[in-house]
Structure 1
Amino acid sequence: MSTYRSEVEAADALKKAYEQARAEIGKVIIGQDEVVKSVLLAIFSNGHCLLVGVPGLAKTLLVQTVARALDLNFNRIQFTPDLMPSDIIGSEILGEDRSFKFIHGPVFSNIILADEINRTPPKTQAALLEAMQEKAVTAAGVTYKLPQPFFVLATQNPIEQEGTYPLPEAQLDRFMFNIALTYPTFAEELQVVKNTTGTTVAEVHKVLNAEQIMFFQKLVRDIPVTDHVLEYAVKLVSKTRPQSEFATPQIKRLLTWGAGPRASQFLVLGAKCHAVISGKYSPDIEDVQAVAKAILRHRIVRSYQAEAEGLSADQIIEQLF
């Protein structure tokens, strides 16, 4: 669909589209700038996000607003202990003509909000995670392609863990970013209350469509990367593995398990996209570091020593730099 004369012009268009989308989302979502940035980075990199934060931090509103700004279809799935895979992907029913027909489930949408994904059993979690990986679902031996682009934003409450089914590491690895939401500042909360307790409703304008997003996703993959940046990204991931030749004695003491190759792939893709929205045409080491925490924090397993010392995953990742 390219109407751009060069990749440089297309990269400039992506940067402009990102800034416009961020401005439109900012009309509704006050503060949370880094969260909005990470969600848009993931969309343009064709990845999924896991959003970790306490209730009431506008996670649902954020996804709805992103969908409106990008002119994409949106569905919210509330995960509960009794949710079945067919409630997500759909099921076959017997029609009036005595033949079976497949009824699409809520996963057939561009953007899915999987609310409290750790509240449902592994069988149902796996149904969504398969759709995330394959971008398709299978029912009664027939494969159905999901609409493109397809983006999942799953939420978890970090406080209330009773009656939950934590995502295994292999399934966590499907998410490009693990985004941590924090409470707003006093000034931001004041603005939120002011904006949401009156009659004025912010109007969000559409700045992109599905075809343009898919074009920009391909553009991100076409961004060139120098060998030293590639090597830095792969070495950074290797440093998280206690058995690696690159792991320091400190890392061997603090981690029991490190990130896999998918982390290296996401680091490079995320760095490419971060470079473009920052006005550059090729990523450097700073771009890799800018996305590293969100990509690595859910892929490393801390040791008992690290937990006893109160070291967070982010603090350990900073030591890798």
Structure 2
Amino acid sequence: MTQPLREILHTLNQVILGKQEEIQLAVCCLLAKGHLLIEDLPGMGKTTLAHALATVMGLDYQRVQFTSDMLPADLLGVSVFEQQREFVFHPGPIFTQVLLADEINRGSPRTQSALLEAMAERQVSIDRETRALPEPFFVIATQNPQDQAGTYPLPESQLDRFLMRIELGYPDQATEKQMLLQTQQLKVTPKLDSQHLQLMQQQVTQVRVADAALDYLLGLVHESRYAGLTPHALSPRASQALLSAARAWAYMAGRDYLLPDDIQAVFAPVAEHRLRNATSSVIGQRQSFSRALLERVDPVQ
């Protein structure tokens, strides 16, 4: 693991205590150029982690609080007829490197759909004009469980735009005691800049993948399609997402080659939200389908 990565993980582990694996997955997601969905009960540190991730990566960011009365123009921007008698486009908060979409499922389906093009193609189409988003561009979204009041389920097409979905869960008693004894909040400072991050992302794509590892990945994907174990199967886009995430995990481990262990490490956060129905939301019980697939497919074939 490189020194900048160690510093990033160390800083984030000081901000969110006792969640080393979840933090490592979040960093892995950004190194793989993916969007991240953090879902859990209110007050678990979702927004804190999202904010710290954006800051420690040294990227420009905007935070948007999604509400039921929010409109797509509040996110994308709007053209205003000004004194010079012409329409001038005023960009919305989406024109940033990191968009913190707080409580994304409190927004209406119309507003949620405004993110689809941006997340898939890194651009938005407004007033018959296509406008490119900054590079790099990430959406880090937080979401409340679907049984919470005032939420709209994210449809499968929206969920599929997120490379990973993670949960933080309750801290153990010792960790929570440590949280309560903290007298001041840690100030997060950037450990990277956008150029360094993009270089690391390019290095991730150069991680070598042997045929045996690729066959194992495809075996998991095909098992999801034909075994009849899950409500939904993994698509080719999910296969690409799994490979990108596994490469990033190997890179974080300091290797330039992929192992089956890397695929297993990222399989649940990459696959589980694609395997189940969008309305299925039981905190802490979302690894059942991915676990079943991992148990059925032998990494040594």
TM-score by length of 2: 0.91
| 2:289 is the counterpart of 1:316 | yes
Alpha-carbon distance in 2 for matches of 1:84, 1:221: 37
Over alpha carbons, which structure has the higher Rg? 1
Instruction: Name the CA distance, whole Å, in 1 between partners of 2:86 and 2:252.
Output: 51
**Letter paired with 2:240:** Q
Check whether the contact 1:51–1:179 (CA below 8 A) recurs between aligned residues.
yes
The 5-angstrom pairing of residues 1-321 of structure 1 reads: 15-158=2-145, 160-195=147-182, 198=183, 200-241=184-225, 244=226, 247=227, 252=228, 254-301=229-276, 312-321=285-294
Q: Deviations over 1:240-262 (max 9, x none)?
A: 12xx2xx2xxxx2x423212111
Deviation (angstroms), 1:26 = 2.1
Counterpart contact for 1:54–1:159, Cα < 8 Å: no
Distance in 2, Cα, partners of 1:301 & 1:152: 22
Aligned counterpart, 2:298: none
Unaligned runs of 5+ in 1: 1-11
Deviation at 1:203, TM superposition (A): 3.3
What secondary structure, in the 3-state scheme, does the structure 1 residue paired with 2:270 have? Answer: helix
Q: 2: distance between equivalents of 1:96 and 1:315?
A: 59
Q: CA deviation at 1:74?
A: 1.8
How many Å separate the matches in 2 of 1:170 and 1:64?
25
Say which SS state the counterpart of residue 257 (structure 1) adopts: coil
| Per-residue CA distance 1:221-279 (angstroms, 9 max, x = gap) | 122111111111111011112xx2xx2xxxx2x42321211111111111111111112
**Aligned residues: CA RMSD:** 1.9
Which one-letter code corresponds to 1:81 in the other structure? Answer: S
Q: For 2:206, give the aligned amino acid.
A: D
The runs of 5 or more residues in structure 2 that have no matched partner are 295-301
Q: Which amino acid aligns with 2:288?
A: Q
Answer yes or no: is the 8 Å Cα contact 2:77–2:91 preserved in 1.
yes
Q: How far is 1:25 from its partner?
A: 1.8
CA contact (8 A) 2:54 2:61 kept: yes
C-alpha contact (below 8 Å) 2:95/2:134 kept by paired residues: yes
Query: Counterparts of 1:153 and 1:41 in 2: how far apart (Å)?
Result: 13
Instruction: Give the aligned residue type for 1:266.
Output: A
- Runs of 4+ deviating beyond 6 Å: none
Q: 1:159 to 1:170 in 2, by over 3 A?
A: closer
1:220 Cα deviation after fit: 0.9
In the TM superposition, what is the alpha-carbon distance from 1:312 to its structure 2 partner?
4.2
Other structure's SS at 2:62 match: strand
CA separation of 1:205 and 1:113: change in aligned 2, threshold 3 A = closer
- Hey, what's the Cα distance between the residues in 2 that align with 1:292 and 1:256? 17
Cα offsets for 1:26-55 (capped at 9, x unmatched)? 232212212211111111100011111001
Number of residue pairs the alignment of both structures matches: 290
Q: What amino acid maps onto 2:14 in structure 1?
A: K
Deviations 1:45-68 (A, max 9, x none): 000111110011121111221222
Deviation string for 1:79-133 (max 9, x for gaps)?
Answer: 1111111000101011221111111101111111111211222211111122111
Equivalent-residue separation in structure 2 for 1:155 and 1:201 (angstroms): 21
Percent identity over paired residues: 37
Aligned 8 A contact 1:300 1:313 in 2: no
* TM-score (ref. length: structure 1): 0.85
